[in-house]
Structure 1
Amino acid sequence: MVNGSGSSQGKMAQRCRRTTSRFTGEKQMHRRTITASAVWLCLSLLFPLAAEAVLYTASDQIILLTPENVDSVLVNSSAAVVVEFYASWCGHCIAFSPVYKKLARNIKEWKPAVDLAAIDCAAEANRKVCMSYSIRGYPTIKFFPAYSKPESTGESITGFPRDVQGLRHTIIDKLENHKEPGPPACPPLEPVSQAEVDSFFETNNVQYLAMIFEEANSFIGREVILDLLQFENIAVRRVLNTEESLVTKLGVTEFPSCYLYYPGNNFTRLIVNIEARTFYSFALQGLPGVVRSGKTPPVPPDVITNNTKEPWRPFSSSRVYMADLESTLHYSLRVEVAAHTVIKGEKLISLKKYIAVLAKHFPGRTMVMNLLTSANSWLQNQTGEEISYEAFQEILDNSGQSPDTALPEAETWVGCQGSQPHFRRYPCGVWTLFHVLTVQALTTRDTDPKEVLSAMRNYIHSFFGCRYCAEHFENMARESVEEVNTVSSAVLWLWSRHNRVNNRLAGALSEDPNFPKIQWPSPEMCSACHTVTQNGDHKWNDNQVLLYLQSYFFFDKILSDYLENEQQILAKQREKHVSKQLALEAQKHFQRKAREASDFMMHPLPTQSAGQEEEEGEEAQDEALADEEEEIGDGAADEIGGKTSEPTPWAKPEMDVGQGHWRAQRKPRFVGMRMRAEQEDIVDLDSFVSQHYRAKASNRVKQRTLQRKEEQEPRPMFGLGMELDAGLGMVGLQPVEADFELGEQTKRLRKRELTGQYYGEELGNRRRWMSVLSIGFSKVDISLCVILYFLSSMCLLAMYLFFKNRLKIRRAKVLP
């Protein structure tokens, strides 16, 4: 075992020396890799359970193999597949996983020709699959050519390099040596001759032919060919420096260099900042007419204006617009958060952190900052475990009407607008918002480097509508956010993850053809941000990127174009508040009326005011009154509906101390008699008299009804006047006649006189004693009192006679 390990270490050292001789400076990188592997190995031995975790997710753009999909991915595939067989507990596998992930992002555009996959052999479900492919150590990388047979176990890549460039070159070598048939999507990688170039446009319908002039051992040409694999209207070929005829014809003096060849034998040199793969690829992908396969070409601005519902707003791609930030806040707080009726637990914590960061770092207008401050203060004072969104919405809508406090409710997208309504907008706004917040935290020298990132991570996890996007972001955060230890590193972390997302979404259906997903900022926007390593690979200059981000997202450079005037926003808010109050009052009034109607249907008797007793038999009297009104007809109702009168003294409003508002005074009650409803100010004498004298006046009521039908006019209306006073002993009630028209008044006065005279004769003999005995009593009540009085008298008389008789009998017995 010792000899074996020593020989393996010797071989590893030989590979390291060969690699170092080939690429300068890779020795130190290899040492760091060995050190990291040793660290991971120790961790896996010390904490085996913690190390047993899946190393790759769907966010890494790597196909995750399982027993269910392994055959469909590896067998008879039209693309070549590179597979890593690993064990999640293996320290070397853990150390290699970041390299493999970076490789997947680096060759993402090669996917039609080659895919990357991985399978965890430590998982019990995958062990049989790994055994079937003769896997005996980890990590193992195998190359599966296109159209592999079911019995194929792949080609092992022994001694594979541990860096992205070395792996990329290894894959290119495999593709060049691929047996027929090769991947259909893979273009020719071999050099071309002048004869092929001269006849190229006769057999190819493209707009450009890009020729990469390079030396024989260079991989730049082949890498650019594969980088442009997914794009139409352009073809890329490599030309060696030994092709003297083409070199002389175009006057090529630098290797590498790129020239564009057009139909008609025209050519020009492609100008880039650095003659390297990344700069060539980016410049060629941005040529006019070059579009991604399957994507519609960019839409001209005038066509966008005609096709979209909203007018196109011209903007500068190098500036940030406050309209985008306010639109993001509106959609975030009034749409996404509103999807949660009750906010509690982790979501409530996320919301508090989100609003706190906004109140602290958002560089908004005064009214918006006032609202965010108010919302933050309200949230921090909530000590319960949950809140309702309805209560939070009251704060967002400024229901308390605090001065100069509002958040615009409209969405006005400018820098984040898309060529179609379903492109960009809110996702673009979220990225822009958090970039601004991280830069603002850096400007204010915030002491907590993870404050903004933690708020963003929690918000996206709890509220962001795209759940797959939230999962991908969480995977990125879980992987590396703990590396952030300064505010400047937080700015760079968010920027690098944004570019990673752009890389993953490039070519997806959600990509706007007018705004392709690129690695931002482009060389045209910030040439100093881009550089190359000694081996020619692209490298970001982090210091220059940080300076560019500070300048781009600095609050003083945020444009206020297309913003709605603050006074208009505040006026709309006040108008909305007033409308809401009116609607609320109307709703309360409707509910009160409905409740009163329901109470009346369930309990016909009205309630007495405090200090009054409910009289027995009142319900029967109400029913009798309703029956009498139906019997008499609708004449009185028509009369009351068509005319108005002065309110009676008891209809005046009085202050209800208990309720704190004005209410109408109640009309007086009389024993055994119930007045009409409170809303009627006129008393119908016919109905009143018929109620109490139905037995004697029924024939006369019929006569009056016939009379009304013959006259075709409303019957007279009477208040409780002198005639009624004479009949029932009620003092101080006056006739109602002030609001009658002059023509009708005369007729009604005559009818009133006739009616008064009739009842005066009927009751004339009993006026005096009735006025004394019947104050507040009806005839029925008086009759009952008389009968009871008579019966009690008879009872007393009977008792008197009984006891008197008994007394006589006893006296008789006493005598001797």
Structure 2
Amino acid sequence: MARRSGRATSRFIKLQEMNLRMIAALFFFVCLAFPPAAEAGLYTASDQIVLLSQQNVGSVLVNSSAATVVEFYASWCGHCISFSPIYKKLARDIKEWKPAVNIAAVDCAADENIQICMNYKISGYPTIKFFHAYSTADSAGVPYRGFSRDVRNLRQRIIDSLESHGEPWPPACPPLEPTSETEINNFFETNTVQHLALIFEDAKSYIGREVILDLLQFENVTVRRVLNTESGLVAKLGVTEFPSCYLYYPDGNFTRLRVNFEARAFYSYALQRLPGVIRSGKPPPVTMELVKNSTQEPWRPFDRSRVYMADLESALHHSLRVELAVQSVIKGDSMIALKSYISVLAKYFPGRPVVMNLLKSLNSWLKNQTVDQISYKAFKENVDNTAQVPDAALPEGVRWVGCQGSQPHFRGYPCGVWTLFHVLTVQASNTGDSDPQEVLTAMRNYIHSFFGCRYCADHFENMARESLEVVNTLPSSVLWLWSRHNRVNNRIAGDLSEDPYFPKIQWPSPEVCPSCHMLKDNGEHGWNENQVLTFLGSYFSSSRILLDYLEDENKILKKQTEKHSHKLEDSLAQKHIERIAREALDPITTPVEEEEEEEEPQDETEAYEEDNEGGEDKLAASDIKDKAFEQTPRTNAKLEEVPGHQQAHKIPSIIGMRLKQRRQQEDIVDLDSFVNQHFKAKALQLAASSRVKQRTLQTKVEQEHRQELSLGMELDAGLGMIGLQPIDTDLDLNSIYQGKRLKKRELAGQYIGKGVELFQRGHWISVLSIGFSNVDISLCVILYAVSFTCLVAMYIFFRNRFRRRRVKIALP
């Protein structure tokens, strides 16, 4: 019998080895057949699971001070795929146990991990193994056979593994065995903690051990479990319910911990919020006095049960003016994401009228963009409302209220973004006629393309890729964002980014919404989603948003107007300086070019007056050039030193239009006239001469001391202007340029006044007299009279001749 048994055993071992080889070979071919799936994996760093590889497997599983639970899986395995959500939930559930227990996973379908799975004798998927602390290199781990696909069962299996650990005990793991009355009586002699929590339960309950591990990362509190068989303590404290929790103090006093439900989640939450209890390695929560002194701005008292519009507007400012500014050119998918983001804001943001007007204007501008890219500079001009859309503005700067932190680097913008999108999902749900994924998709694309924390953006993308497609109703979109926000809170609880004054919790807390929490049939904590949805709809409702600490709308609009006015003045002054510099480089300008410049009213001041009708801006704009001249004396001096050059003054816009109209009328004058031809030829000769003075805006009174010969241009004379005129040869050119320069505004007023007076005196006479002398008029009258006489004579002659030749017909 022994021989047969030995043979059977050897055959079994050989058969098992053959099966392992066949499985490995099959596994190898499957890996070759599915390379994309092998590379993908089922878990990411967002799942709070350690991803094992050849590089870290030794440090995680061999001689580690923490116990480790490892799942060996294949990414192509259907059972592994269906089990992955449970394993992720387990990792989040026991996240606070990490100093004592780590959760890890390895993808055996990846080529680089095949050897790892063979070393640990993995023959099926998924396989879960428990590795004790300080395991040796040849340890294959303790497999969990027949494990239930239930988080509660897996959690209890891990506790059983820890209790059977033996020596050496994991140094970070507290004692899990029941305590006694003797130990409790002597506890404060050897411990200095502020709170001692005693959980009374029966022997089969895991609540006490779970709470002990939940409080593992917190200081100033110790948790011990007491069995209902410990009659001395039960009688001393008067315990009648199991489970129940009591706080025991050094002086022997005790009090019962009040919770909504006698369950693990409520015990853990209440104990973590006790006074003086802090997370290990984190500074204690600061008091209000310290908060006021540690922030750059004074502390703003606020109601934690309400949303503040100041937070929403601050989030918009940082998003549109700071975060988007990183990309100088927005194109492709980023352009699509931006359009979707602004469209959702314009549609659902419950803002003040001035902010809503700006968002709608910005949305219309983006929709009208036919190109697939825009510059951020152009986008920011619309955000800053440089086009001056009436009653539209977005306040600049941030003013956090409900999202303010105890230190400047805590909370702030991340809190504002979450609050903003919670409000948008609730507003979209209240409308009842929108796409359930509209807001969530816009949020996902914006975070993917623009959110500054790329690590956070990757985590959010992983969550969206995992479950966003299940959102098919508007209420489910509200709940999806809420549940993912809680998942993020669970992941970053205890990180350096956590504000100790505002710890990351599963929100809403039992104090804020007691009806949102419930117990399942198995005693596990659960959420009453109907109550949660009602709470979220009320909390983020537009009717409950507080307007405290907001800047007045009129002040916002006034600041915006003043800002644009200063920018415009600076821009006009800069353009004028650049123009002077260009003229200095090309000082000699032909009269024809100057006439063309006078015909086109391109002066910056005139353009500004035409675009901005009325108000103080018109009155102030005319002084801009004078200020610019005062700021650039060197440039003006250089222009005056150039021989044969005098600064040209631009004709005011009204006079320029009159001049252009009359020059068009000159073009239809009889060009065959000898007098006109004579004067044109003479004007061209004078223009070609270096001794011809350029056109000026000086009046006749100023020019009387100079010897001049008028060319007979009645228009210029009528307007008080001198045209092209020869200058006496004995007059020194340099002395001409020393004349007094009048300001443009005064000259423009004189010219306009004289022009109006001339127009009232006789507009048609002025028009008909362009280019004619008295002799010309007399000749025209005589020629028209002679022509009329000749026509009359010819008419009489031909009529008489026709009568003579008329044939008379005799009638029979």
Q: CA–CA distance in 2 between the matches of 1:734 and 1:110?
A: 95
Written as runs of structure 1 = structure 2, the 5 A alignment for 1:329-340 is 329-340=316-327
Aligned partner of residue 84 in structure 1, secondary structure: strand
1:563 aligns with 2:581: no
Aligned partner of residue 518 in structure 2, secondary structure: strand
Q: Choose the corresponding residue for 1:654, options 651, 665, 682.
A: 651
Q: Deviations over 1:590-620 (max 9, x none)?
A: 22233333x24xxx644453499xxxxxxxx
Aligned partner of residue 609 in structure 1, secondary structure: helix
2:304 maps to a residue whose letter is S
* Equivalent pair of 2:314/2:398 in contact (CA under 8 Å): yes
Aligned partner of residue 371 in structure 1, secondary structure: helix
1:134 aligns with 2:121: yes
1:363 aligns with 2:350: yes
Cα distance, 1:254–1:583 mapped onto 2, change above 3 Å: same
Q: Deviations over 1:765-804 (max 9, x none)?
A: xxxxxxxxxxxxxxxxxxxxxxxxxxxxxxxxxxxxxxxx
Q: CA–CA distance in 2 between the matches of 1:554 and 1:226?
A: 38
Please report how far the alpha carbon of residue 269 of structure 1 lies from its aligned counterpart in structure 2 after TM superposition: 0.3
Q: CA–CA distance in 2 between the matches of 1:359 and 1:131?
A: 57
Q: CA–CA distance in 1 between the matches of 2:572 and 2:728?
A: 47
Aligned to 2:605: none
Aligned partner of residue 150 in structure 1, secondary structure: coil
Aligned to 2:486: 499
Q: CA–CA distance in 1 between the matches of 2:403 and 2:729?
A: 87
Q: CA–CA distance in 2 between the matches of 1:77 and 1:368?
A: 57
Aligned to 1:433: 420
1:351 maps to a residue whose letter is L
Aligned to 2:592: 609
Q: CA–CA distance in 2 between the matches of 1:726 and 1:659?
A: 29
Q: CA–CA distance in 2 between the matches of 1:296 and 1:580?
A: 47
Aligned to 2:730: 728
Aligned partner of residue 106 in structure 2, secondary structure: strand
Aligned to 1:84: 71
Cα distance, 1:249–1:440 mapped onto 2, change above 3 Å: same
Aligned to 1:808: none
1:58 aligns with 2:45: yes
Q: CA–CA distance in 1 between the matches of 2:738 and 2:342?
A: 67
Q: Deviations over 1:714-757 (max 9, x none)?
A: xxxxxxxxxx98873899x9998999xxxxxxxxxxxxxxxxxx
Cα distance, 1:557–1:671 mapped onto 2, change above 3 Å: same
CA radius of gyration, larger in: 1
Aligned partner of residue 510 in structure 2, secondary structure: coil
Runs of 4+ in 1 over 4 A off after TM superposition: 47-52, 604-608, 648-653, 655-663, 672-681, 724-727, 733-739
* Equivalent pair of 1:75/1:149 in contact (CA under 8 Å): yes
Aligned to 2:381: 394
Cα distance, 1:574–1:81 mapped onto 2, change above 3 Å: same
Aligned to 1:708: none
Q: Deviations over 1:178-231 (max 9, x none)?
A: 121121110000000001001111111100000000000000000000000000
* Equivalent pair of 2:202/2:243 in contact (CA under 8 Å): yes
Q: CA–CA distance in 1 between the matches of 2:270 and 2:486?
A: 18
Q: Choose the corresponding residue for 2:205, options 208, 215, 218.
A: 218
Q: CA–CA distance in 2 between the matches of 1:98 and 1:425?
A: 32
Please report how far the alpha carbon of residue 392 of structure 1 lies from its aligned counterpart in structure 2 after TM superposition: 1.1
Unpaired segments of 5 or more residues in structure 1? Answer: 1-43, 613-636, 682-687, 689-723, 740-816
* Equivalent pair of 1:145/1:182 in contact (CA under 8 Å): no
Unpaired segments of 5 or more residues in structure 2? Answer: 1-29, 596-633, 661-682, 700-705, 707-725, 742-812
* Equivalent pair of 2:591/2:695 in contact (CA under 8 Å): no
Q: CA–CA distance in 2 between the matches of 1:389 and 1:201?
A: 64
Please report how far the alpha carbon of residue 157 of structure 1 lies from its aligned counterpart in structure 2 after TM superposition: 1.5
Q: CA–CA distance in 2 between the matches of 1:440 and 1:372?
A: 16
Cα distance, 1:295–1:670 mapped onto 2, change above 3 Å: same
Aligned to 2:411: 424
1:524 aligns with 2:511: yes
Q: CA–CA distance in 1 between the matches of 2:316 and 2:658?
A: 42
Q: CA–CA distance in 2 between the matches of 1:657 and 1:217?
A: 99
* Equivalent pair of 2:54/2:116 in contact (CA under 8 Å): yes
Aligned partner of residue 651 in structure 2, secondary structure: strand
Q: Choose the corresponding residue for 1:581, options 550, 568, 572.
A: 568
Written as runs of structure 1 = structure 2, the 5 A alignment for 1:473-552 is 473-552=460-539
* Equivalent pair of 1:328/1:429 in contact (CA under 8 Å): yes
**Aligned-pair Cα RMSD in Å:** 3.3
Aligned to 2:299: 312
Scaled by the length of structure 1, what TM-score is found? 0.71
Q: CA–CA distance in 2 between the matches of 1:51 and 1:447?
A: 36
Please report how far the alpha carbon of residue 446 of structure 1 lies from its aligned counterpart in structure 2 after TM superposition: 2.8
Aligned partner of residue 389 in structure 2, secondary structure: coil
Aligned partner of residue 213 in structure 1, secondary structure: strand
* Equivalent pair of 1:653/1:662 in contact (CA under 8 Å): no
Q: CA–CA distance in 1 between the matches of 2:465 and 2:736?
A: 88
1:254 aligns with 2:241: yes
Aligned to 1:75: 62
1:527 maps to a residue whose letter is P
Cα distance, 1:650–1:287 mapped onto 2, change above 3 Å: closer
Q: CA–CA distance in 1 between the matches of 2:116 and 2:563?
A: 65
Q: CA–CA distance in 1 between the matches of 2:466 and 2:226?
A: 42
Q: CA–CA distance in 2 between the matches of 1:662 and 1:473?
A: 68
2:536 maps to a residue whose letter is L
Q: Choose the corresponding residue for 2:145, options 158, 164, 169.
A: 158
Q: Choose the corresponding residue for 2:455, options 465, 468, 486.
A: 468
Aligned to 1:790: none
Cα distance, 1:307–1:735 mapped onto 2, change above 3 Å: closer
Q: Choose the corresponding residue for 1:271, options 248, 253, 258.
A: 258
Q: CA–CA distance in 2 between the matches of 1:166 and 1:417?
A: 41
Q: Choose the corresponding residue for 1:183, options 143, 158, 170.
A: 170
Aligned to 2:689: 671
Q: CA–CA distance in 1 between the matches of 2:123 and 2:397?
A: 61
Q: Deviations over 1:682-701 (max 9, x none)?
A: xxxxxx9xxxxxxxxxxxxx
Aligned to 2:111: 124
Aligned partner of residue 387 in structure 1, secondary structure: strand
Aligned to 1:711: none
Scaled by the length of structure 2, what TM-score is found? 0.72
Q: CA–CA distance in 1 between the matches of 2:533 and 2:588?
A: 80
1:237 maps to a residue whose letter is R
* Equivalent pair of 2:100/2:170 in contact (CA under 8 Å): yes
Please report how far the alpha carbon of residue 584 of structure 1 lies from its aligned counterpart in structure 2 after TM superposition: 1.2
Cα distance, 1:662–1:70 mapped onto 2, change above 3 Å: farther
* Equivalent pair of 1:259/1:270 in contact (CA under 8 Å): yes
Q: CA–CA distance in 1 between the matches of 2:367 and 2:656?
A: 35
**Percent sequence identity over aligned pairs:** 64
Q: Choose the corresponding residue for 1:457, options 444, 450, 454.
A: 444
Cα distance, 1:734–1:180 mapped onto 2, change above 3 Å: closer
* Equivalent pair of 2:651/2:697 in contact (CA under 8 Å): no
Cα distance, 1:569–1:210 mapped onto 2, change above 3 Å: same
Q: CA–CA distance in 1 between the matches of 2:141 and 2:649?
A: 100
Aligned partner of residue 386 in structure 2, secondary structure: coil
Aligned partner of residue 592 in structure 2, secondary structure: coil
Please report how far the alpha carbon of residue 580 of structure 1 lies from its aligned counterpart in structure 2 after TM superposition: 1.1
Q: CA–CA distance in 1 between the matches of 2:318 and 2:431?
A: 27
Q: CA–CA distance in 1 between the matches of 2:147 and 2:739?
A: 112
1:232 aligns with 2:219: yes
* Equivalent pair of 1:656/1:662 in contact (CA under 8 Å): no
